[in-house]
Amino acid sequence: MNRINQRFADLRAAGQKGFVAYIGAGDPNLAATENLAVALDAAGVDVLELGVPFSDPLADGLVNQLAAQRGLASGTTPAKLLETIAAIRKHSQIPIVLYIYYNLIHRRGLAEFITAAAEAGVDGILALDLPPEEADQYEAHMREAEMCSIWLVAPTTPADRVATITARGSGFIYYISREGVTGMQSNVAANLEQMTDVIRQHTELPIAVGFGISNPDQAREVAACSDAIVVGSAIVNQIAEHSAKPDMPERVGAFVKTLVDAIKEK
| Catalytic machinery residues | 49, 60
Q: Where are the beta strands (DSSP E) in the chain?
A: 18-24, 47-51, 96-100, 124-127, 148-149, 151-153, 173-176, 207-210, 228-231
Q: How many CA atoms lie within 13 A of 102 on its CB side?
A: 14
155: preceding bond cis by omega (within 30 degrees): no
In angstroms, rounded to a whole number, what is the distance separating the alpha carbons of residues 247 and 154?
Answer: 37
What is the torsion angle, in degrees rounded to the nearest 10, for the CA atoms of residue 205, residue 208, residue 209 and residue 210?
Answer: -140
Whether residue 42 contacts residue 252, with contact meaning beta carbons closer than 8 Å, is answered with no
For 67, the 3-state DSSP assignment is helix
Whether residue 46 contacts residue 228, with contact meaning beta carbons closer than 8 Å, is answered with yes
Angle between helices 30-42 and 248-264 (to 10 degrees): 30
Q: Determine how many CB atoms are found less than 10 A away from the CB of residue 232.
A: 28
